[in-house]
Chain A
Amino acid sequence: MKKEVKLSFWDRLYLPAIIVGMGITIKHFFKTLFTRPSNRYTVEFPERKKDLPEWYRGLHRLNTREDGSIKCVACYCCATACPADAIFIEAEDIDDLDEGYPREKRPKQFIIDLHRCIFCGYCEEACPEDAIILTNEYEITQLSREEGLITMEELVKTPKKKMD
């Protein structure tokens, strides 16, 4: 649908509206200039970084057990829950039959395609082992499509949340 906007005479003069707009911009400029950096709305990224709330959903992390092995059991629950088909898992058989905690299955490959991921957090919700979590890490830019495919080895290294 095309929406027609009727401009008033004052708007059609063009220049007065520009001057009003510039006034607002300049007002904010001086306001920011005379405020202490900690109270400003803008952050001087990347020198300063914003403290993100705990519920922020950033880069994924694969948690590990105390002995360093990966918590993920390749159950595909996250891949099933994923609305963007961003998770790819290939499972592997392990013959680790520890008396206390026998394990049978682990991921051979665990890849998250960050270009497909919409950071909805469903994978974290679906995980029965608390293996995948979304951290506060938000500096995730890549220069190519291939770099966006994050493998298991990289996901383990994602820094934990501050509160953890």
Chain B
Amino acid sequence: MINIKIDNTERSVEEGQTILEVCRNLDIEIPHFCYHPGLSIAGNCRMCLVEVKGMPKLMTACSTLVQKDMEVLTDSDLVKEARRGVLEFILLDHPVDCPICDKSGECDLQDYNFDYGIDKRRSIFPKERHKVEKVSEKIYKNDNRCVLCTRCIRFLDEVTETHELTTVDRGAHTHITCVDPEGLDNNPFASNISDICPVGALGLNEFRFQKRVWLTDHVRTICQGCEAGCNLNVDLHTRQTALDPNLGPVVRFISANNYSMRRFFICDEGRYSYSNYNKTEERLLHPELDGETVTTEEAGSFLKEALSSKSAGAVVLSPLVSVEENYAAILLAEKMGYDLFRPSPYRKDLPEPALFIEKVKAPNHNMMKLLEIPKVTDMETSDYDVVLVLHSIGSIRDNSLVKILSLLKRAKYSIVFEVERSEFSENTKLALPAPMFLEEDGCFINSGKRIQRSTGGLGYPESVQPLWKWLFGKDFSGPESLLRKFSKEKLGIELDYDKIGQEGVEL
């Protein structure tokens, strides 16, 4: 630890960091375009210039390491002047077409120009015009808006190492071009470049002109695609107006930065999986007894009857369901002396540069592994009278599926708790509707043994209840109380949602 002075305040900071990183951790804003925590340092946008005492000129905060007794000024007149100048240069050839730009509302250039820029354009020369170009099936490029931060180029060079984009021409005519004849179509991570673009130069065709970002609500969740547990920011459209067509509530998934995991990007498969959560035809919305819709009370009385039968029972947990819901099922099994099993999650062959995609396609598979729950395929007998199966959107392996179906068919009381209608709810006596992952708070344990929190921003429909409500009613006040009990009894540490925070806790 070394002592430095930032804006005349003594700070004790760790050595080896840059000024920008130090300031980010201290919540001091330094505007920047080209710096990205997941990429190498380019230092070409000149937006992060700060004043360092003893240096003849302003220094770029993104590339200057902090040193002992350094004195940094991030808000002096000289720095403000420099920012104004840089913004004026960038805006010389920027169309300022915010009304039609899909980035507006979350655009760095827009924010910085409001905070540090000048209102008036001094240049009288016309701006250069380029055509909007589709660089792949998924991504469009608008050169007019580009600020040449080269984040996209560095992402493709350093992270995916596929080198599709590069800059061509010189000076004011510099622009970004796709040099790969196949475009970006074969890259399973390409859509990240629309997230990391600080302006609206790169965007997703699917989101183009669909929705303005300020009309959506944002929640932070965990990707359900595989056990990697990438962080997502989800845009939800909850404020439906009278004339809006009945679009789904989930507008898009974008990547969220997780500094403690050092992960800033997501795969395209996860990004475009949002449409799975907009389907309504298959959704199980009311409890069903023998295929017929029943009320919550009738379902509750069947559940009571099943749980009071005092016969052997089995609970099949799900790697697709959150820690809290699984733990509610575990609590039931412990109380009634039922046997616990887990299905084997679905595995998929990985695309060529796999990076952070995992083979196991279930977000909570590591909870099952952590608690050493036996596989359902290793089950010795299958004579159970009471069977409870948890399931969610996603798939499990075929041999587990067959085993669970045979269990359900043999049982006297078979109960399935799931989100969408599947083979399970077709072959069971009682099917209980479950909230999906965006509808309730829940935690997931990823492949790096990190417990992370997913926020439910949607809220579940009235007829749907989480499992702990079905089983224990008012014994628990909410999912957080289940997590507290789970962490205390199974992990031996005290955890709550505040402690897990946005970035999770390593177990």
Contact = CB atoms under 8 A, between A and B. Distances in A.
B242 A97 contact: no
A102 B129 contact: yes
Interface residues of B, number: 18
Contact of A97 (B131, B212, B214, B215): B131
A97 B215 CA distance: 28
B252 to A, nearest CB: 15
B54 interface: no
A74 interface: yes
Contact of B100 (A74, A97, A111, A116): A74
Interface residues of A, number: 24
A35 B388 CA distance: 89
A92 to B, nearest CB: 7
B244 interface: yes
A80 B99 contact: no
Contacts of B243: 88, 111, 113, 149
A27 B244 CA distance: 54
Nearest to A75: B99
Contacts of A77: 99
Contacts of A155: none
Nearest to A95: B132
A116 B131 CA distance: 40
B209 interface: yes
B99 A73 contact: yes
B209 A105 contact: yes
Nearest to B97: A104
A129 B242 CA distance: 25
B164 to A, nearest CB: 24
A73 B209 contact: no
Interface in A83-140: 85, 88, 90-93, 97, 99, 102, 104-105, 111, 113, 116, 128-129
B244 A74 contact: no
A152 to B, nearest CB: 13
A75 B100 contact: yes
B309 to A, nearest CB: 53
A85 B240 CA distance: 9
Given A74-B100, A76-B215, A99-B129, A93 B242 contact: no
Contact of A104 (B100, B212, B214, B215): B100
Contact of A91 (B131, B132, B209, B242): B209
Contacts of A128: 98-99
B225 to A, nearest CB: 29
B209 A74 contact: yes
Given A75-B100, A113-B243, A80 B212 contact: yes
B99 A129 contact: yes
Contacts of A105: 100, 209
Interface in A10-41: none
Interface string B208-220: 1110101100000
A80 B214 contact: yes
A114 B318 CA distance: 51
A76 B213 CA distance: 11
Contacts of B242: 85, 88, 113, 116
Contacts of A93: 208-209
B246 interface: no
B477 interface: no
B244 A80 contact: no
Interface in B192-245: 208-210, 212, 214-215, 241-245
Contacts of A74: 100, 209
Contacts of B129: 97, 99, 102
Interface of B: 97-100, 129, 131-132, 208-210, 212, 214-215, 241-245
Given A91-B209, A91-B210, 9 more contacts: A74-B209, A75-B98, A85-B242, A88-B243, A88-B244, A113-B242, A128-B98, A128-B99, A129-B99
